[in-house]
Amino acid sequence: MLHVTDIRDHKEAYIQALTKRNFEASAIFDQVLELDEKRRSTQASLDNTLAESNKLSKEIGMLFKNGEAQKANLLKERTGKLKEDSKNLQEVLSATVEELEQLLYTIPNIPQDSVPAGKSDEDNEEVFRKGDVPVLAEGSLPHWELAKKYDIIDFELGTKVTGAGFPVYKGKGARLQRALINYFLDKNTAAGYNEVQVPHLVNEASGFGTGQLPDKEGQMYHIGIDDLYLIPTAEVPVTNMFRDSLLEEKDLPITCTGYTPCFRREAGSYGAHVRGLNRLHQFDKVEIVRIEKAEDSDAALDGMVEHVKMILDELKLPYRILRLCGGDLGFTSTLTYDFEVFSTAQDRWLEISSVSNFKTFQANRLKLRYRDAEGNKQLAHTLNGSSLALPRVLAGILENYQTEDGINIPEVLIPYCGFDKI
């Protein structure tokens, strides 16, 4: 979340910047500053009350020691009143801090200057494109028909076992899925990312830490009896490994990669665009996460973009990169690049990765800081990216690599698969 001090110091600039998100911030900023003023004044009153109470307690002790019990008892009446006042002030302070925090949770991150204005994904800005769209033979099929034809993904069986959006991968389909996971992890670790295996369930504090709560609560699967959430992405548990941490500058950057299944309710998603692997409730993804110093995070984001580009170049899939506009920018992000692969059989672009810089937005929630060379405590910058999300990458491979006599495997994946054609 945003820091109150930053809102106070940059109020008008932040109001203007948030118009890119079509977010009216003026009234809510006024509320934030009023509550913060109330918090500060209440804290000052509480501090003064406690200080006076402590002072009187020492005086009472000395009076009793000197045999002046009558004076001591008179002062004890005053300390009783001070204790009651401090209790009331503490209650007001706690309620004010809670109200302020809940209000701050509703304010999205400030977009960077390079983020274009816009209302929806139609206003996103294409910044890069590479790869020729293959010309498929007449009668080429979308991936869900290919999956059925070659018996590699069974959507009906997944519906039987669980429900729609939970496919079963079979035979060479399962092996190709595993090959992609291993390939992505190998590329990430070769680039210096430290591989981690993390829980697939997180607590509420973790959801708040990375900004999924309260913004995306309706999209997460919640296990009520244990008050735990199935993860929507590995970003949540990986980043929360560093919640409530004070790092040393010499230890930065911290870079992690991890594979997890991801679970999303995708409430309200209907229509032809969600067929097959296009949109699922459970899917596999390999994630990269970075914790950086403030001055290094912009360059780190550029490096992450280049890293994902390299993987797609090796897979030889036609793709493009979009800079998300304010209206399509994620709640916690200050700048996001989306990667999309072209689905030839569907004649449309499919999102396969989002690479984002959150700057201090998540770190402020997480209380994730580092001690700089001068010994000062600074909020870290956090970044994450899909490297990569599997369902649509797999859809792109099946559709773009299909031939009249089968589906070719990208050359870079053959050693991982153990076969070169389905």
Binding-site residues for L-serine: 233, 264, 287, 384
Contact between residue 152 and residue 170 where contact means Cβ atoms under 8 Å apart:
yes
- In terms of Cα–Cα distance, which of 312, 343, 307, 275 is closest to 180? 312
CA distance 131 to 337: 18
* Tokens coding 417: 């698969």
Dist CA 305 CA 320 (whole Å): 12
SS3 213: coil
Hey, is 354 helix, strand or coil? strand
CA distance 122 to 284: 27
State the DSSP code for 217.
G
Q: For CA atoms 140, 281, 321, 117, give the dihedral sign.
A: positive
Instruction: Give DSSP secondary structure letters for 57-117.
Output: HHHHHHHHHTT-HHHHHHHHHHHHHHHHHHHHHHHHHHHHHHHHHHHHTTSPPPPPTTSPP
What is the DSSP code (8-state) at residue 245? -
Q: Which residue in 378, 97, 98, 153 sits closest to 284, CA to CA?
A: 153
Q: Is-contact 286 391, C-beta < 8 A?
A: no
Which tokens in the block code for residue 145? 């028909």
Name the helix (H) or strand (E) containing 154: strand 153-154
| Binding-site residues from annotation for ATP | 264-266, 351-354
H or E element, residue 137: none
Amino acid at 146: L
Question: Can you say which residues are annotated as belonging to the binding site?
Answer: 233, 264-266, 287, 351-354, 384
Compute the distance between CA of residue 325 and CA of residue 420 in angstroms, rounded to an integer. Answer: 40
